[in-house]
């Protein structure tokens, strides 16, 4: 049974009532981020109950030594972990000498609100302490979008039934460990505590990776809104410093502590300037004050929502779901730094190391292309180009040569750092997603400059890998790819996974085709690239030979491509026959049992039909969808979105809607029973795709924007915006009509439900469906 304690609301995530068994889940759901840092929704005050402490700095990681039972040649030496950073949000509260701890007092009227429209998180509650004192607490915090190093907290306490002596101790603490440490290492070292009057700083360096950071704080106190000049007392140890403020507060008065804190890092600053930069940030924060900073926050989020929002009319649950997804995508990545990427958990947890996966290219790129701009999308592609040399090194470690590139399954700096052999060695289809992203970017943006500047070198490295990874089967008279894991990770070490073979075939052809195009249109650039890569015509001919003769498993009787060789040898019992008490199967079944089953974790063959939809007829898609979906258990967060898009394409609107709700509320309703570990950030981009590509039917066909809208019967309509080749287009869909507008200069050709039309600036275009 899914969780259902989140209150339905179009713009807010709301929890009413304090339940200790929900704390870790809510810490994930109410997380904050600003692209440069993020944190789980941990309590500021001490909490003795179960909690998952988490604050994270973008790009700062630790190479945790790989831990496996049997070392195999080619294993990565480490698994990169996004570090649990020093804690800057902490505020210990003592009232009449009693520590405020929600696990040790009576809690009433507890409420959390994550305001997605304005970008802040608030917690309200009343507590009755052991001495009978009742207090009301209101805490608001946000991570600034305008000053990326800064976070701000307002912590208000009001005694309700008698006067109270309050001791508030804001602190920063570098004595932090990751929950997912392989060897229980201390990830932070060379910790230095610095105090300058009422400012505190902790300089710390990460072990092994040697990132240097400065965690900082400064606080102000107020009584009933008037600043109180209180002298702080200092308490510190080797890893922590706190500044305590004492004040007796009359019944009904409100004591407020405003805390400003955050991080400076040597990713952006000179090491010698980290404390100085932190002081400048604090100076700016105090000059503006909490209220003005919050206004700036609201304005910054309003600008994001102006472009990124999707409005759903008549279905609050669906509306809340899509905004939750869009909100967390923007908290995780804003596209301003090409050295960063989008981790599957973002800033909400440590699982998967917080590193980059193929999810970025397969799922996230369309969202950022359409809701940001071309440069943001290009930065995501440039990230892989900058890692090309490392991808070649990764391939060399596995025995490949001559410039073959195998991009990592998991990475922070281009090196492979995933330590499961069936993934690291076998889930090689990731290379194909990176090539497809280049194609998808050029198709959508029309930008022809990325390919000669960077893209072709990436394609050459990928094509060389596929040429060497395929082997010729005399028995099949075709090239085969053996020993792989496809997108369906419930199958390992299989031969001829159809998706892997098909995308390899396509990559080889596409790389050769792009070489031909650049040779024809820009010979100087072509000569530069071929000289740099030592590429020859003979090598390209070999690519095409492998592509043309690639084996694709197919069953003549069923008329469908087989997921892999031997798939039909399984006991083909549909997922609907599974005992619901045994779901998700990865939490109840042995891996042996899963591998012998026909169950599909996420779209595999259908992932290929999604990428290459225009290679197949709708009848062919329908046959494959109807065959494979019944065996799919959707236990990957990336599964429902692809199925929603394809179900909408086939006119299966009830199924499309159900899959949309699942992907949009995957974490809110905890479908996979793991939200306490963090959110599924990259699959959230798939939620956006489910609406825009699924219900909106957005495609690029023959270099033209096309829409084939359908509105689920549960909705009155929906609206979204896209940035298509610098044209900002608003699309509003209802059951019987679609309305398009653009304010940009210049007409744009568009196709709506098979009608070729021209959209003119400031002239609404209405089409009856």
Reading the block at residue 233, the tokens are 């007392």
Reading the block at residue 644, the tokens are 């929603």
- Number of C-alpha atoms within 13 angstroms, CB side, residue 669? 16
Task: Compute the distance between CA of residue 137 and CA of residue 158 in angstroms, rounded to an integer.
Answer: 6
Reading the block at residue 495, the tokens are 């031969």
137 bridge partner residues? 125, 157
- Report which of 316, 337, 62 is spatially closest to residue 185, judged by C-alpha positions: 62
Reading the block at residue 210, the tokens are 């040697």
**Size of the chain in residues:** 769
Task: Compute the distance between CA of residue 558 and CA of residue 409 in angstroms, rounded to an integer.
Answer: 33
Distance of CA 230 to the CA centre of its chain: 43
Task: Compute the distance between CA of residue 195 and CA of residue 49 in angstroms, rounded to an integer.
Answer: 31
Work out whether the CA dihedral 548, 553, 559, 563 comes out positive or negative. Answer: negative
Residue 569, phi then psi, degrees to nearest 5: -75, -10
Is residue 489 among the annotated active site residues? Answer: yes
Q: 430-445 vs 498-521: helix axis angle to the nearest 10?
A: 50
Task: Compute the distance between CA of residue 565 and CA of residue 626 in angstroms, rounded to an integer.
Answer: 20
- Number of C-alpha atoms within 13 angstroms, CB side, residue 76? 31
Reading the block at residue 605, the tokens are 């063959």
Compute the C-alpha angle 217/219/222, nearest 5°: 165
Would strands 120-128 and 106-115 be described as parallel, antiparallel, or unpaired? Answer: antiparallel
Work out whether the CA dihedral 278, 284, 290, 296 comes out positive or negative. Answer: negative
First CA to last CA across the chain, in angstroms? Answer: 39
Contacts of 425 (CB under 8 A, 6+ apart): 72, 74, 398, 483
- Residue tagged active-site, from 44, 489, 539, 629: 489
The DSSP 8-state label assigned to residue 8 in this structure reads: P
245 bridge partner residues? 168
Task: Compute the distance between CA of residue 612 and CA of residue 227 in angstroms, rounded to an integer.
Answer: 63
Contacts of 129 (CB under 8 A, 6+ apart): 95, 96, 98, 100, 105, 135
Query: E-assigned strands of 638-687?
Result: none
Query: Which residues are marked as active site?
Result: 489
């Amino acid at each position: 049974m899914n969780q259902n304690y989140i209150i339905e609301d179009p713009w807010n995530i709301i929890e009413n009532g304090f339940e200790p068994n929900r704390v870790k889940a809510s810490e994930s759901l109410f997380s904050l981020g600003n692209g440069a840092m993020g944190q789980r929704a941990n309590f500021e005050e001490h909490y003795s109950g179960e909690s998952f402490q988490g604050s994270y700095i973008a790009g700062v990681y630790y190479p945790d030594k790989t831990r496996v039972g049997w070392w195999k040649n080619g294993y990565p030496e480490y698994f990169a972990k996004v570090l649990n950073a020093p804690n800057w949000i902490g505020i210990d509260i003592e009232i009449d000498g009693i520590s405020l701890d929600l696990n040790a007092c009576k809690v009433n009227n507890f409420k959390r609100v994550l305001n997605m429209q304005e970008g802040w998180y608030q917690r309200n509650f009343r507590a009755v302490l052991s001495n009978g004192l009742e207090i009301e607490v209101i805490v608001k915090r946000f991570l600034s979008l305008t000053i990326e190093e800064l976070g701000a907290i307002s912590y208000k306490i009001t005694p309700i039934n008698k006067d109270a002596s309050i001791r508030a101790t804001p602190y920063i603490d570098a004595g932090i460990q990751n929950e997912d440490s392989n060897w229980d290492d201390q990830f932070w070292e060379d910790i230095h505590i610095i105090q300058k009057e009422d400012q505190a700083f902790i300089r710390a360096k990460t072990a092994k990776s040697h990132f240097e950071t400065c965690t900082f704080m400064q606080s102000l106190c107020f009584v009933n809104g008037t600043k109180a000049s209180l002298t702080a007392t200092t308490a510190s140890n080797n890893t922590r410093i706190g500044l305590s403020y004492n004040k007796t507060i009359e019944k009904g008065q409100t004591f407020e502590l405003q805390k400003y804190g955050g991080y400076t890092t040597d990713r952006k600053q000179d090491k010698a300037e980290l404390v100085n930069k932190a002081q400048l940030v604090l100076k700016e924060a105090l000059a503006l004050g909490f209220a003005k900073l919050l206004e700036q926050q609201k304005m910054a989020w309003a600008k994001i929502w102006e472009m990124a929002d999707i409005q759903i009319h008549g279905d609050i649950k669906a509306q809340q779901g899509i905004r939750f997804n869009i909100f967390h995508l923007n908290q995780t990545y804003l596209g301003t730094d090409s050295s960063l990427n989008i981790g599957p958990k973002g800033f909400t947890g440590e699982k998967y190391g917080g590193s980059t996966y193929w999810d970025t290219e397969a799922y996230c790129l369309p969202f950022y292309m359409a809701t940001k701009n071309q440069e943001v999308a290009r930065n995501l592609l440039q990230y892989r180009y900058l890692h090309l040399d490392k991808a070649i090194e990764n391939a060399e470690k596995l025995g490949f040569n001559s410039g073959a590139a195998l991009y990592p399954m998991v990475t922070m700096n281009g090196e492979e750092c995933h330590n499961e052999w069936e993934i690291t060695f076998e889930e090689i289809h990731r290379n194909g997603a990176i090539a497809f992203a280049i194609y998808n970017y050029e198709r959508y943006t029309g930008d022809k400059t990325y390919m000669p500047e960077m893209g072709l070198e990436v394609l050459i490295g990928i094509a060389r890998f596929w040429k060497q990874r395929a082997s010729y089967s005399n028995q099949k008279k075709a090239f085969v790819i053996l020993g792989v894991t496809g997108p369906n990770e419930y199958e390992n070490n299989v031969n001829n996974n159809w998706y892997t073979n098909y995308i390899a075939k396509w990559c080889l052809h596409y790389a050769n085709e792009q070489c031909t195009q650049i040779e024809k249109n820009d010979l100087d650039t072509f000569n530069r690239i071929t000289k740099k890569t030592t590429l020859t015509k003979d090598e390209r001919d070999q690519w095409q030979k492998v592509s043309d003769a690639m084996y694709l498993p197919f069953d003549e009787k069923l008329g469908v491509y087989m997921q892999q060789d031997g798939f039909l040898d399984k006991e083909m019992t549909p997922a609907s026959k599974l005992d619901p008490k045994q779901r998700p199967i990865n939490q109840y079944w042995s891996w042996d049992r899963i591998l012998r089953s026909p169950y599909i974790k996420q779209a595999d063959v259908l992932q290929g039909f999604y990428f290459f939809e225009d290679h197949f007829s709708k009848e062919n898609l329908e046959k494959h969808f109807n065959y494979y979906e019944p065996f799919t258990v959707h236990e990957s967060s990336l599964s429902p979105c692809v199925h929603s898009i394809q179900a909408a394409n086939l006119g299966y609107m009830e199924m499309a809607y159900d899959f949309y709700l699942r992907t949009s509320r995957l974490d809110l309703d905890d479908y996979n029973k793991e939200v306490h570990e963090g959110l599924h950030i990259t699959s959230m981009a798939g939620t956006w795709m489910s609406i825009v590509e699924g219900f909106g039917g957005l495609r690029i066909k023959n270099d033209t924007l096309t829409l084939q809208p359908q509105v689920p019967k549960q909705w009155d309509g929906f609206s979204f915006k896209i940035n298509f080749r610098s044209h900002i287009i608003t699309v509003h869909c209802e059951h019987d009509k679609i309305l398009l507008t653009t304010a940009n200069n210049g007409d744009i050709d568009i196709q709506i439900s098979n009608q070729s039309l021209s959209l003119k600036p400031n002239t609404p275009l209405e089409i009856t469906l």
